[in-house]
Structures are given as structure tokens and as C-alpha cells.
A and B are shown apart, each in its own frame.
Chain A
């Protein structure tokens, strides 16, 4: 199951639990205990997911630059200009490789 799926399932579980608590008369201490456990579970599920998604981008110039097509066009043009007319491959190559 994907992380989004897990988070959704946890959310659904919490909603059902709240509804259950309304329907069934529970002792207050069990009621509060269950709520805290469920909240903690959701928090623990959400935290690593968000952390993972952020890792590649957080304060990362590699990511901000390489996901920006405009910047890349500008830089690759700069590189090509600096390289001049130097060919990348020999013109003497003939035939199918």
C-alpha cells in the first residue's frame, strides 16, 4: 500500500473510532486513552512520509536547479558556448555500430 493509502486508512480508522465512541458508551478513561493512541499512530505515520518526500528537495540546490527547465536551458547554453565548436564525436565514424 502506498504511503498516501496508509495515511487515508489511518484517517478512516480514526473517524470510525470516534463514531464508535459516540455509539457505545465507554468509560471516559478508555475513551481518552483510545483517542490519544489513535492520534499518536496517525502522527507517527504522517511524520516519516513527509520527511521522506522532503529529503530530496530540502535546502538542496541540486533539486531546485535540476527541476527548473528554464535554468537548465540557460546553463546548458552557457556550457555549449564555452565549449565552442569542439565536436563531441568523430566525424570519421562510418557505418552501423
Chain B
């Protein structure tokens, strides 16, 4: 994504006045400030850069009330699952817990979004800047908004920026994010979900690929054999990015930083850590996430004493789906192929306990087939 020059970030296209809905409002009605003051320094007193965060009810919500009423339950605003996961890992002692909470709020929660930071500007976490001169974007542009934040994992995978790995087949069919991720999913529906996979109106491969189990379908037999055993991604994902050991802190000037020790491209099949009726598959693709026992140690010692309560290899839906992948080339490309499975030897010693339920025991690796 091309960075914007400082003046480009705040340039307003005069065409905005022709917007029959939003152009009818005075700038100050949403942003505050004094439009009659010709001195820009004093005119900006009290100006709110993003009037839709943290509460859009008096701006966007005055017309889009049906969307704004669920605003707080949108993961893009609340980042609720991340908060829940950190809380589960945090030390129960109130003083320690509150320090972890403050650090999480300051670092992890800085990557939130809002109505404005998807539909009017680039998100603040990527330095903001108006999209198309403040002309409202019904569908946020993929690379300036979606993959600007979801870049190192989803963006790189989807756009084919991992060396030697082709882009997602849906990208080659010119799909933008909103083809699968609809507004209802993005905006929240008022429910407090534990994680994004539980969101009712989230995308499902079967929404489009309805006929994979039909007798006439080319691979119906294979799809039936593997139904509820493996997730779609186990057969159809390419290798993807994994991150490890994120540490956050502040430098000598008081500026926040993060350090990710390393990221690596890999493909691992693990035991489904979130197995439910909706996700009955035993095997899923798992991705290593950046959390570490010492993530918040700059702020508090032993902040995550319950670290082992959750795995560091998480259920993943990599965005580099292909019809043909190395692991679905033949039966034995996967069956009996230990390299594809998350084994004890693949997990760092200090993370073994946390990942005990995700690691695939050798006896569960499907045996090599003789008839392949």
C-alpha cells in the first residue's frame, strides 16, 4: 500500500459537497471545531478526528441506527476475542491482571477500527489518511483498508506475496474481501461471540460450493470420505505465515513498540481446538500466533501465569485456497505424511503444555494407503 503524503491524508474532494446525504451536513456537525474561524490553528480547537469512535450514535448512528446499535459487538471495534484470550491467560491477582489489561488496551487494542476507519479513511493503526478525498466508500477498498491491517497473514496469503506460494484462487477470480465477508458479519449482530468462527453470518465455503457432495460432482467421493473429518483448508490451503514471541513495551522516548521474534511459513494440521457441532472436523489447519509468556513483561512480571490454558497453535483459515495443493495431489501426499501434522517435536518446549490438545498424537495420523 502506497503511503500518503501528509496533505493527501486530509485532502477533501470538493465533490463531497455533491453527496446528497453526507454533503448536506456541515463539517463541524460531525467533527466539531469552528468552521467560521479563518485561522486553522484556532479553528481546529476541539476537532474530533474520528467522530465515529468510540461512539457513533450521534454521528453515523443518527441515520444508520440499525448498524450503530450493534457497533459495540463488532469485533473490529471491540476486539473482544483478543481480550477474552488474554484475560484467560492472565494472572488472577487483581493488581497483576489490571496491569496486563492496561498493556493489552494500550498495545493490542490500538488496532481497532470504526465506521469512519473503514468507510472514510484508512485505519489509524496504519497511520490513517482519507480514502478518496472523504468520499464515503460503501465497500471499503481491500488494500487500503482490509489488508492494510490484516496484512502479514491474510493479505500476504491472499495476494500471493509469500515467495513460491500462488495467490488465493478467489483473488484470481477478482474477489474482494466483501464477496465472502458481508457487512452483517463486519458490523456485529449484537451477540457476544467467543471468537470469529462462531459468528453466525460469517462466511462458509459451502455457501458457494454447494454441490461438492452431489453424486455428479467430480470429487464427490473424496468430499464424502473426508466430510466432518477434516476442514476444507486441510486439503485446500497452501503454506501460510506464522508468528512467534511478540513482546511489547515503550522506548526511551515513551513511544510504544512491539517486537516479533520471528515469523515462518509453514503448513500444519492439528487437532481441532474449537470442535463444535458447527465445526465437527477432527483435523484443521493451525497457525502459530504471536503471544508468549513474556508478551507483557515490560509492564508486569509473570503477567500471563495461566498461559497454558490456551494453545499457541490456533485454528486457522488461511487465505491462500487452491483447488490443487501439494497435500491433496494423491492420497499418500497426506496419509502417512508426518511433516504435515503438528507433532510434539514441532512445538517449543515451553509451549508444550499449552498445545497438548492441538498436537496430533502419532497414532491419529492417517495411515499410508496401499492402493494410492
Binding site for B on A (CB under 8 A): 2-3, 49, 51-57, 59-63, 65-67, 69, 72-73, 75-76, 79-80, 87-97
Q: A67 and B36 in contact (CB under 8 A), knowing A62-B27, A90-B256, A93-B257?
A: no
Q: Which chain A residues border B26 with CB–CB below 8 Å?
A: 55-56, 60
Q: A67 and B12 in contact (CB under 8 A), knowing A76-B6, A90-B251?
A: yes
Are B20 and A52 interface neighbours, CB within 8 A?
yes
Q: Which chain B residues border A66 with CB–CB below 8 Å?
A: 10-12, 27, 134
Are B251 and A80 interface neighbours, CB within 8 A?
no
Q: A95 and B256 in contact (CB under 8 A), knowing A55-B25, A61-B38?
A: no
Binding site for A on B (CB under 8 A): 5-7, 10-14, 16-18, 20, 23-28, 31, 33, 35-38, 40, 43, 111, 127, 134, 151-152, 241, 243, 246, 249-251, 253, 255-263
Sampled A-B contacts (18; CB under 8 Å): A3-B20, A52-B24, A60-B27, A60-B36, A62-B31, A62-B33, A66-B12, A67-B11, A67-B13, A67-B14, A76-B5, A79-B6, A87-B253, A90-B250, A92-B255, A94-B258, A95-B243, A96-B263
Task: Please measure, in the bound complex, the distance between the C-alpha atom of A90 and the C-alpha atom of B252, giving whole angstroms.
Answer: 9
Q: Which chain B residues border A63 with CB–CB below 8 Å?
A: 12, 14, 17, 27, 35
Are A93 and B17 interface neighbours, CB within 8 A?
no
Q: Which chain A residues border B35 with CB–CB below 8 Å?
A: 59-63
Q: Which residue of A lies closest to B255 (CB)?
A: A90
Q: Which chain A residues border B257 with CB–CB below 8 Å?
A: 90, 92-94
Task: Please measure, in the bound complex, the distance between the C-alpha atom of A90 and the C-alpha atom of B253, giving whole angstroms.
Answer: 8
Return the contact of B7 from the options A54, A73, A91, A95 (Cβ within 8 A). A73
Task: Please measure, in the bound complex, the distance between the C-alpha atom of A70 and the C-alpha atom of B35, giving whole angstroms.
Answer: 19
Task: Please measure, in the bound complex, the distance between the C-alpha atom of A18 and the C-alpha atom of B280, giving whole angstroms.
Answer: 71
Q: Which chain B residues border A2 with CB–CB below 8 Å?
A: 20
Task: Please measure, in the bound complex, the distance between the C-alpha atom of A61 and the C-alpha atom of B27, giving whole angstroms.
Answer: 10
Query: Top 6 closest A-B pairs, CB basis?
Result: A95-B260, A96-B152, A90-B257, A90-B255, A72-B7, A76-B6
